């Protein structure tokens, strides 16, 4: 069986998991429609990426 070479202190043991935290997703403004979007992805609002329309997006009409 595996045997540890020496005792690992509580501080050293607990500091291993100190950096296991979630980071919030970075969000930038779309240069075309100025909506918030994830960088390096096609904008979900207007369908533009890198100055060109890559995806045709249908506009939703709000009917009351």
* DSSP 8-state symbol, 52: E
Burial class of 43 by CB neighbour count within 10 A (0 to 12, 13 to 18, 19+):
buried
Give the integer Cα–Cα distance in Å for 9 and 1: 22
In this prediction the pTM is: 0.56
Helix (H) or strand (E) segment spanning residue 11: helix 10-15
Per-residue pLDDT for the chain (64 aa), expressed as one digit of tens each? 888 899 999 999 999 888 888 888 899 999 999 999 999 999 999 999 998 888 888 877 666 5
């Amino acid at each position: 069986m595996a045997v540890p070479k020496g005792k690992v202190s509580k501080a050293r043991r607990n500091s291993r998991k100190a950096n296991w935290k979630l980071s919030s997703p970075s969000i930038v403004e779309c240069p075309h429609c100025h909506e918030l979007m994830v960088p390096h992805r096609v904008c979900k609002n207007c369908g533009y990426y890198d100055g060109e329309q890559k995806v045709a997006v249908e506009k939703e009409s709000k009917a009351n």
